[in-house]
Structure 1
Amino acid sequence: MINKLLPLLKYFHALAETGSFTKAAERLCISQSTVSIQIRKLESILGVILLHRKSKHQFALTREGAALASETCNSFERLAAQLNAIQSDCPTSGDINLSSSASIGIKLLLPIIAQLKKIHPKLTIHLQETSAKKLFFEDKIDIATNYGVPDVGLHSIYLKTITKKMVASASYIKRCGLPTNLQQLAQHQLIMQAGGKNEFQALFAKSDLDITVLNNQSVSSNLAKLEAIKLGLGIGIVPDYLLDSDDDTLVLISTMDLRACAEELYLVCEKRRRYESKIQWLMTELATALKTESKAVRSPLSDH
């Protein structure tokens, strides 16, 4: 009977762990109906009901189902740990998924990935863009970057504090003038990131200015924000790592105190996976490289 059960347990494990027919199907790259059929086969072989089906998509585990779910979870975790132990002698080969924002990925991580690839040609680091909510399991993320103190449910390593700079294009400043205080800044066109941290809100928070009437242009990312600034659409606040000290098309506006806009950057992974050799090794390598780079990098832009 065990030969019939083993292939079916992966379907039950995926369903119990995700709590959803939809997510289990996505994880296994099959249809929801196939998941349902395989679960019914498992119930038929065991002679017990594992799920109370509340509707087409909702269910609750029975007592027997909960017991089996606990055992399969432990068994799969032990198997994963054993497989990881087998690979532990060589964490620098194979595939690993790293998730970050587009700007961090392009400007900070890709150069490090390129160097690691030269040293460890058998290692492939897949870089993907972070969604609004990090779904490690669903999105198959091994390691991710995180702005701000991470959730307590995640293992984290502090990388660096990202400072911000206020900039505008030289053409915009020539056309609209250089603001020297918040009152003047409030009269300008401001470039903001939709769905991201509102740096201007933090900047104006301690003033008595009505920030609900600010003139703003929304863009999708920090990279888009910088491009909009270069095109003369307004003034923006961007991470310092995006700025090039040799770029004479941008003007640094240094009269505003941007300390409240700074953000701490972390690397995070699921706590249950923090001791996996490959994850441990890569998090350490990335953290070391970023900290070393921070000490060597030139200051972005100069006052104009």
Structure 2
Amino acid sequence: MMSYLNLPLLHVFHLVAERGSFQAAASELGLPRSSVSKKIRQLEEFVGQPLLQRSTRQLQLTDVGRNLLTGTGELATVLANLHGLVDDMQATPRGKVKISASILMGQVFLVPLLGRLRRIYPEIELELSLEDKTVDLLAEKVDIAIRIGQLPDSSLIARKIGEKRWGWFASPQYLAERGTPESPQDLARHHCLVFGSHSFWPFESSDGRTEILEVTPAIKTDNSRALVDIACAGLGIIMIDPQFIVRECNAGLLAPLLTDWRHPEHSPVNLVCVGERTRAAQAVWQFLLNEFPSLAGEKG
């Protein structure tokens, strides 16, 4: 029985037989002629009989060689197709790459990059999964994710691409109707819009004094995009990363509040993946690292 260890030798044998010379097969394989000759000798040693009759002018198959060539024809085709497939995959990144991020992170930072990414790698099929929850990369078959905060799972490969901060914002319409809070304590008289369970809002004054207030949600949602839209509609005050609402602030839909205070915390934003990456995933990984402007010089 032909051992799987001899399959590469069988592929070389088929090329030599079909091309009619060691040199022609060597040129096609990109190997020295001596290497091709050595591989044929190794296959003959395994079979225990000569497969080719060599002369200065031509090669002839022995009966054993002819039988081997005929009996392994379909296998040789598979090997040839496999070599072509591997070469093709190595030359051009292709295949599916799944990227996971929170809704606002994806809309604000990833979506604007997709056009250029597709132009550079047209053979890569992108799947963008935007959810405001932490997903299991292995279970969800995610190739690359953007995660906010410290990563408890040490098996993840991570590169820092930025930092998440927070501020407080409301629409001019809301402030005209309800007034502008001058201190954190004033929020007790205002409508606060809360994302998920984040109803504890911390504040740090200019002299370093920190206090944490539990706000009563007027509206609570687990969708970050909806939270911004509700605030833009004039329904209350939100605590959010200013990077996510640059467009709304520039358009006059939202305005900053409590600017004499700041949020005392900030969290790293990481590009993460699990283990080895396919060639396509590696291409997307490197593209995203290069495109995020706050990468701070760390590549990987």
TM-score per shorter chain, which class? 0.5 to 0.7
For residue 170 of structure 2, what is the aligned residue in structure 1? 168
Cα 1:87–1:199 shift into 2, 3 Å: farther
Fraction of identical pairs, as percent: 21
Distance 1:208 1:267 in 2: 30
Question: Relative to structure 1, is the Cα distance of residues 131 and 236 closer, same or farther in structure 2, using a 3 angstrom cutoff?
Answer: closer
Distance of aligned partners of 1:86 and 1:138 in 2 relative to their CA distance in 1, 3 Å threshold: farther
Query: Aligned residue for 1:177?
Result: 179
What does residue range 245-256 of structure 1 map to in structure 2 within 5 Å?
245-256=249-260
Aligned mates of 1:137, 1:261 — CA distance in 2: 30
Matched, 1:257 2:261: yes
Shift of 1:147: 0.5
Q: Which residue of 1 aligns with 2:203?
A: 203
Instruction: Map 1:1-80 to 2 at 5 A.
Output: none
**What is the CA–CA distance in structure 1 between the aligned matches of 2:292 and 2:149, rounded to whole Å?**
17
Shift of 1:135: 1.8
The root-mean-square deviation of aligned C-alpha atoms, in Å, is 2.8
Q: Displacement, 1:251?
A: 2.0
Verify: 1:95 aligned to 2:99, yes or no: no
Q: Max radius of gyration: which structure?
A: 2
Shift of 1:249: 2.9
Matched, 1:140 2:120: no
* Residue aligned with 2:292, SS: helix
Equivalenced residue count is 205
**CA distance in structure 2 between the aligned counterparts of 1:206 and 1:254, rounded to whole angstroms:** 14
In the TM superposition, 1:111-150 aligns within 5 A as 111-130=112-131, 132-150=133-151
- Other structure's SS at 1:291 match: coil
Q: Matches of 1:253 and 1:203 in 2, distance apart?
A: 12
Whole-angstrom CA distance in 1 between matches of 2:118 and 2:99: 14
The secondary structure found in structure 1 opposite 2:182 is: coil
Secondary structure at 2:127 match in 1: strand
Amino acid across the alignment from 2:184: L
- Deviation track 1:9-60 (CA, whole Å, cap 9, x = no partner) reads xxxxxxxxxxxxxxxxxxxxxxxxxxxxxxxxxxxxxxxxxxxxxxxxxxxx
Distance 1:144 1:105 in 2: 10
CA distance in 2, matches of 1:85, 1:202: 56
Residues of 2 paired with 1:221 and 1:142: CA distance?
23
**Cα gap change, 1:133/1:293 in structure 2, threshold over 3 Å: closer, same or farther?**
closer
Shift of residue 96, structure 1, vs aligned partner: 0.6
- Aligned counterparts of 2:264 and 2:87: Cα–Cα separation in 1: 44
Q: Which amino acid aligns with 1:253?
A: L
CA contact (8 A) 1:159 1:266 kept: yes
Which residue does the alignment assign to 1:237? 239
Shift of 1:259: 3.7
Distance change in 2, residues 1:248/1:293 (3 Å): farther
Q: Which amino acid aligns with 1:128?
A: S
2:276 is aligned to: 273
Structure 2 residue 209 is matched with structure 1 residue 217: no
Indicate how the Cα distance of structure 1 residues 254 and 89 shifts in structure 2: closer, same or farther if over 3 A, else same. Answer: farther
**Structure 1 runs, 4 residues or longer, greater than 4 Å off:** 83-86
Checking the alignment, whether the CA contact within 8 Å between 1:98 and 1:127 is kept in structure 2 is yes
Q: Which structure 2 residue ranges, 5 or more long, are not aligned?
A: 1-84
What's the offset of the Cα at 1:253?
1.1
Kept in 1, the 8 Å contact 2:289–2:295? The answer is: no
- Relative distance call for 1:97 and 1:215 in structure 2 (3 A) is closer
- Which residue type is aligned with residue 232 of structure 1? G
Q: Is 1:288 aligned with 2:290? A: yes
What one-letter code is carried by the residue in structure 2 that aligns with 1:112? L
8 Å CA contact 1:84–1:277 kept in 2: the answer is no
Letter in 1 for 2:244: Y
C-alpha displacement at 1:261, in angstroms? 4.5
Q: Which runs of 5 or more residues in structure 1 are unaligned?
A: 1-82, 295-304
TM-score after normalising by structure 1: 0.60
**How big is the shift at 1:215?**
4.3
Superposition deviation, residue 292 in structure 1: 6.5
Give the match's secondary structure for 1:260. coil
